[in-house]
Structure 1
Amino acid sequence: MGLGDEQIYEELKSVLFTDNAISSEAAAIAMGLVMLGSGSESSAHDMFTYAQETQHETIIRGLAIGIALISYGKEDSAEDIIEKLLGHQDSILRYGGCFTLALAYCGTSNNSAIQRLLHIAVSDSSDNVRRAAVLSLGFVLLRDFSTVPTIVELLSQSHNPHVRYGTTMALGISCAGRGLQAALDVLEPLLKDPVDFVRQGATIAKSMILIQQNENTHPKVKEFRASLRKIVSNKYEESLAKFGGAIAQGILDAGGRNSTIQLENTQTNTLNMKAIVGLTLFTQSWYWFPLSHFFALSLSPTSIIGVTDNLKAPKFNINCHTKPDFFGYPPKAEAQVEKQAEKIATAVLSTTARAKARAAKKDKTVKKEDKMDIDEPSTTEKENTKESKGDEISNVELQDSQYKSLYVKEPYQFQNMTRVLPAQLKYVTFSKHERFVPVRKFKGMSGIVVLNDQSPGKSFDRIKTIREKGNTEAPLPDPFTIDPVLDKELFENDNE
């Protein structure tokens, strides 16, 4: 991907020319992936020409998406191919034109690109093209994600279900991993939409926004997870909505809840090309659901991995100035207890029933005579219980204010190679008194961090890899020298 190798490109082109509906479509997408972001005019021309010659819709669609990948980040230099695609009479090529426009101006918030996509979203004759136009807004507005809910709010109320689906994915792409409440407010009514594939898009988009959120950072996560379980287990639910619920569950738990969607590298203020490509091809699962596996490309591990100059991971502690449980893992789903079968009541004769009733009357008279005098609770005790219940309610209401004052002076510590969420990074600091400190210090560092050893030469405990843990052979000894004065016995044996 992105290698731009002409030999690989030519081999894929020979597969494309076989005109097989399945393998040629795969070759078309692969050609776009190999020439990703190259802006090659000859490649785009070849693919556009063959798209007009073939009769297979799948191949045309694959070529259109391939051209979009070639035009990634090219902005004005991709205008020629964008105009050809958007002005074509074939709706599939216009569909590809929307994605070409989106990837060429990805993350730029270009006004011209936004206006053209909005115009296509309300005027094109093809539902597929209108859906792609609305969806593409999410890519163009990646860096200005907070404005997307305002822009697509009216489109989310459109009479056309394809436009409504496009709004869900535009919100999911632009606000992925952000937990933006305004985006969730727009998605809320679409979760109950009468059309099944709109509900599918809404559930997937909401899970993309709420990825790596727990009840502390966003209180409605537990409720959303419960609703997903109902969608998947409900046998009367439509298959498309069920599929969306299953995908949404997988997104929430992606990478063992140790990964998130990061389309923008916040440390360097650059776009994550691999993640953007992954979501672009993930949206093509509308036509063939196995393409949803491309979603894995958009995931980034959320952890701090400190390594030395020889790529060894030492054991050392890192400070976090928050409460330990605030950014923790969500609790595991409770196991459902199987209900035991109720026993069938046995038949009772009338004579035994009368005898039991007479015995029960005798017991009641005896209990009334022997009843002890018990003091009733006082009014003050009742008031105290009411006050305690009132305190519990107020604690729930104060969660938002606790989040704002999250910083604590006395931090807790966690070890190297530990899960750290993006929202947690601003509270993470490296101790100056530790042996290992980062070579380059900057705010919000994450991922692989190169460490400086302040006590070189001394041995240290390090975190072993899986291969090292599985290695049962004896380790090689450390380098050593023999001193003739100290090791006399060795030399005496040699002389003999």
Structure 2
Amino acid sequence: MLVEHFNSHVRYGAAMALGIACAGTGYKEAVSLLEPLLSAKENYVRQGAVIALSFIYVQQTDVSCPKVGEFRKQLTKMTTEKGEDSMAKFGAIIAQGILDIGGRNMTIALHNRSGTTDMGGVVGMMVFQQFWYWHSMVPFISLACKPTCLIALTKDLQMPKIEFKCNARASLFAYPPPLESKKKEEHEKVETAVLSITHKKKPVKKGGEEKMEVDEEPKPAKDEEKKATLPAFMCSASSRKAVPDNEPPTHTIENPARVVRLQLKTLSMMENSRYKPVKSVTYGGIIMLLDKTPDQKAELVVQVSAMDNQQTEVQQAVAGGTTLDPAAPEKQPHSAFEIDLKDY
């Protein structure tokens, strides 16, 4: 295997090729090949390993790929440790951005939904691979990103209110849980040990009733008390496994929806639906619908106009004490300019 080659540059290239080929799949075999490279001697090999693993872990959850949480913690450790090499730390920062690319609503793909090669994505990935020469080439990875969504439209290009059935559990494709800030540990007060010699020195009160020594019941720890009052989803991972899973095997999603690549094959139309898709909903993206009852009024998704957003900006500006003319023309983009890479 090239990932076990004696030449470190070959191992780096094999890791990146494996990550690109298995992007967004979560293949366990590919992960098992890349994990040993995280402890390589060469800093650039570790850099390539974390970037390649981030390609594979895109839009993966702890349910579909249990090692995602550990990988995120490892990236945080690499970026915060002072003793970590700068090249490996830079790779960990890029990997964190790839994991959350597009607000976790996009994936890495070099082909279109129809299966044809996307030349823009291929060029973007190729330029991104040259970030070792110039760090400003990292944003070219955005050309290889594809939105993972499902948008159903009518013949008038309107979004009707419609639901789709997903024949899988909702937690399998849910957003990763947000990072929790570390809480300060409350140290319990410990009673000072009383030596037997001190009892002899202290005079015993006359007429005092001697209490019988009784073993006190152990008080539950604070963490256990919190677990008893908190809902199941807020407990630790070990306690969640003990709780029986009552999650339904299917769920519904509304139009428009975030649909990851692995979720597409589980989608289907609801029974007795008013609309019929022109092509299967398993393709994802924009799906055109045929209305079976065009005489009836369709219920559409409420859309927010750009004017409403502009009025909101004006209100925020007035509240901040600044003046903003709503009738002012929009700002024009910067004029085109030429750049010569030889100057850099």
Fold shared per TM-score above 0.5: yes
- Please say if residues 152 and 159 of structure 2, whose CA atoms lie closer than 8 Å, have aligned partners that are also in contact: yes
How far the C-alpha of 1:166 sits from its partner, in A, is 0.7
Of 164, 169, 175, the residue aligned with 1:329 is: 175
The aligned residue for residue 290 of structure 2 is 452
| SS at 2:164 equivalent | strand
Question: Any residues of structure 2 matched to 1:80-479 within 5 Å, and which?
Answer: 153=1, 155-265=2-112, 267-338=113-184, 366-367=210-211, 369-371=212-214, 408=249, 411-438=250-277, 440-442=278-280, 444-457=282-295, 458-465=297-304, 467=306, 469-470=308-309
| SS at 1:455 equivalent | coil
| 1:360/1:218 CA distance change after superposition, 3 Å | farther
Measured against aligned partners, the alpha-carbon deviations of 1:218-254 in whole angstroms (never above 9, x if no partner) come to 1111110110000000011111100100110111111
| 1:330/1:373 CA distance change after superposition, 3 Å | closer
Alpha-carbon distance in structure 1 between the residues aligned to 2:204 and 2:148:
70
Letter in 2 for 1:164: R
| SS at 1:270 equivalent | coil
| SS at 1:322 equivalent | coil
How far the C-alpha of 1:454 sits from its partner, in A, is 2.6
Alpha-carbon distance in structure 2 between the residues aligned to 1:227 and 1:360:
61
- In structure 2, the gaps of 5 or more residues are 218-236, 313-344
Letter in 1 for 2:30: A
Larger helix proportion, structure 1 or 2?
Answer: 1
How far the C-alpha of 1:470 sits from its partner, in A, is 2.9
| SS at 2:286 equivalent | strand
Alpha-carbon distance in structure 2 between the residues aligned to 1:156 and 1:335:
37
Alpha-carbon distance in structure 1 between the residues aligned to 2:202 and 2:276:
82
Measured against aligned partners, the alpha-carbon deviations of 1:410-468 in whole angstroms (never above 9, x if no partner) come to x3211111111111111111124223331x23262201111222333514232314526
| 1:230/1:466 CA distance change after superposition, 3 Å | farther
Alpha-carbon distance in structure 2 between the residues aligned to 1:333 and 1:213:
16
| SS at 2:283 equivalent | coil
Letter in 2 for 1:241: A
Alpha-carbon distance in structure 2 between the residues aligned to 1:361 and 1:419:
76
Letter in 2 for 1:195: E
Measured against aligned partners, the alpha-carbon deviations of 1:34-68 in whole angstroms (never above 9, x if no partner) come to xxxxxxxxxxxxxxxxxxxxxxxxxxxxxxxxxxx
- Please say if residues 321 and 407 of structure 1, whose CA atoms lie closer than 8 Å, have aligned partners that are also in contact: no
Q: Which has the higher contact order (CA 8 A, sep 6+)?
A: 2
- The higher radius of gyration belongs to 1
TM-score, length of structure 1 as denominator length: 0.51
| 1:466/1:366 CA distance change after superposition, 3 Å | farther
| SS at 1:255 equivalent | helix
Moved over 4 A (4+): 338-343, 353-362
CA RMSD of aligned residues (A): 3.6
Letter in 1 for 2:164: I
| SS at 1:286 equivalent | coil
| SS at 1:333 equivalent | coil
Alpha-carbon distance in structure 2 between the residues aligned to 1:469 and 1:431:
33
How far the C-alpha of 1:274 sits from its partner, in A, is 2.0
Alpha-carbon distance in structure 1 between the residues aligned to 2:202 and 2:29:
68
TM-score, length of structure 2 as denominator length: 0.72
Count of matched residue positions in the alignment of Structure 1 and Structure 2: 280
Letter in 1 for 2:301: R
| 1:160/1:312 CA distance change after superposition, 3 Å | same
Letter in 1 for 2:177: P
Alpha-carbon distance in structure 2 between the residues aligned to 1:309 and 1:360:
97
Alpha-carbon distance in structure 2 between the residues aligned to 1:360 and 1:251:
73
Letter in 2 for 1:199: R
Alpha-carbon distance in structure 1 between the residues aligned to 2:256 and 2:179:
26
Percent same amino acid at aligned positions? 38
| 1:160/1:359 CA distance change after superposition, 3 Å | farther
Letter in 2 for 1:213: Q
Alpha-carbon distance in structure 1 between the residues aligned to 2:49 and 2:107:
18
Measured against aligned partners, the alpha-carbon deviations of 1:72-123 in whole angstroms (never above 9, x if no partner) come to xxxxxxxxxxxxxxxxxxxxxxxxxxxxxxxxxxxxxxxxxxxxxxxxxxxx
| SS at 2:276 equivalent | strand
- Please say if residues 217 and 326 of structure 1, whose CA atoms lie closer than 8 Å, have aligned partners that are also in contact: yes
